[in-house]
Structure 1
Amino acid sequence: MTSETMAAVLLTGHGDFDVLSYRTDVPRPAPRDNEVLIQVAAAGINNTDINTRIGWYSKKVDAATEQGGASGFAQVDDADATWSGVAMQFPRIQGADVCGRIVAVGRNVDPARIGERVIVRNMLRSYVDYRPYECWTFGSEIDGGFAQFAVAPARETLAVRCDWTDAELASVPCAYSTAENMLHRAGVGAERVLITGASGGVGSAAVQLAKRRGAEVVAICAPSKADEVRGLGADRTLDRNADLVATLGRNAVDVVIDIVAGPVWPALLDLLRLGGRYACAGAIAGPITELDVRTLYLKDLTLFGCTFQEDAVFENLVRYIEAGEIRPVVAKTYPLDQIAQAQRDFLSKSHTGKLVLIPPQVTE
Structure 2
Amino acid sequence: MKAVVHHAPPGFDGLKVTEMKEAAPGRGEVKIRLKTAGLNHRDLRVLNRPRDTDDPVILGSDGAGIVETVGDGVSGIKEGDEVVINPSLNWPHQSPAPPEEFDILGVPTRGTFAHSIVIPAGNVEPKPEHLTWEEAGVLPLAALTGYRALFSRGGLKAGEHVLIVGIGSGVSTFMLSMAKAAGARVTVTSRSEEKRSRALELGADTAIDSDGDWQEQMKGEKVHLVIDSVGPATFEKSLGRLLPGGRLVTFGETSGPHVEIPLRPFFFGQFTLMGSTMGSSEEFRQMLNLVSTHKIRPVLDRTYPLSEAPAAFLRMKAGKQFGKIGFQIS
Partner of 1:23: 18
Whole-Å Cα distance in 1 between the matches of residues 96 and 239 of structure 2?
32
* CA RMSD, Structure 1 to Structure 2 (Å): 2.3
Equivalent residue letter for 1:22: V
Q: What residue is the counterpart of 1:45 in the other structure?
A: 39
Distance 1:286 1:88 in 2: 28
Q: Give the Å deviation of 1:186.
A: 1.0
Listed one character per residue, the Cα deviations across residues 279-312 of structure 1 (whole Å, up to 9, x for unaligned) are 1111112222222223332211111111152333
| 3-state SS of 1:98 partner | strand
Match of 2:4 in 1: 9
Following superposition, the deviation at residue 165 of structure 1 comes to 1.6
Alignment-derived partner of residue 187 in structure 1:
155
Give the share of equivalent positions with the same residue, in percent.
28
SS at match of 2:163: strand
2:302 and 2:324 in contact (8 A); partners too: yes
Q: 2:167 touches 2:196 (CA, 8 Å); kept in 1?
A: no
Task: Tell me the residue number matched to 2:287.
Answer: 317
2:139 to 172, 175, 190: 172
Paired with 2:258 and 2:91, the residues of 1 have a C-alpha distance of 32
Contact 1:261 1:287 in 2 (8 A): yes
Q: 1:120-178: CA deviations, max 9, x gaps?
A: 112112699x9961211011342110111111211121012413221101121011111
Aligned CA distance change for structure 1 residues 308 and 318 (closer, same or farther; 3 Å): closer
Kindly tell me: are residues 103 and 163 of structure 1, through their superposed partners in 2, closer, same or farther at Cα, counting changes over 3 Å? same
Cα separation, partners in 2 of 1:127 and 1:91, compared to 1, 3 Å: farther
SS at match of 2:317: helix
CA distance, structure 2, for counterparts of residue 290 and residue 137 of structure 1:
29
- Distance in 1 between the 2:235 and 2:325 partners? 27
Match of 1:214 in 2: 183
Partner SS state of residue 220, structure 1: strand
Query: Is 2:63–2:112's contact at 8 Å kept on the other side of the alignment?
Result: yes
2:246 maps to: 276
The equivalent residue for 1:301 is: 271
Alignment partner, residue 149 of structure 1 = 116
The CA deviation at 1:14 is 6.3
Residue equivalent to 1:101: 66
Partner amino acid for 1:200? S
Alignment partners' CA distance in 1, 2:253 and 2:213: 19
Matched, 1:125 2:100: no
Deviation string for 1:7-51 (max 9, x for gaps)? 111112463321112112x11011121111111111111111112
1:132–1:260 CA distance, 2 compared to 1 (3 A): closer
Map 1:51-90 onto structure 2 (within 5 A): 51-55=45-49, 78=50, 90=55
Contact 1:250 1:273 survives alignment (8 Å)? no
Once residues 110 and 29 of structure 2 are traced to their aligned partners in structure 1, the CA distance between those partners, rounded to angstroms, is 13
Q: Note if contact 2:92-2:282 (Cα within 8 Å) is conserved in structure 1.
A: no
Indicate how the Cα distance of structure 1 residues 245 and 99 shifts in structure 2: closer, same or farther if over 3 A, else same: same
TM-score, normalising length: structure 1 = 0.83
1:308-333 deviations in Å (ceiling 9; x for gaps): 52333210222133334311111111
Q: What's 1:259 paired with? A: 229
Call closer, same or farther: CA 1:228–1:121 in 2, change over 3 Å.
Answer: same
For structure 2, list consecutive stretches of 5 or more residues without a partner in the other structure.
none
User: 2: CA distance between counterparts of 1:156 and 1:255?
Assistant: 31
CA gap 1:253/1:115 in 2 versus in 1, 3 angstroms: same
* Post-superposition CA distance 1:160-201 (Å, at most 9, x none): 241322110112101111110101211001211000121211
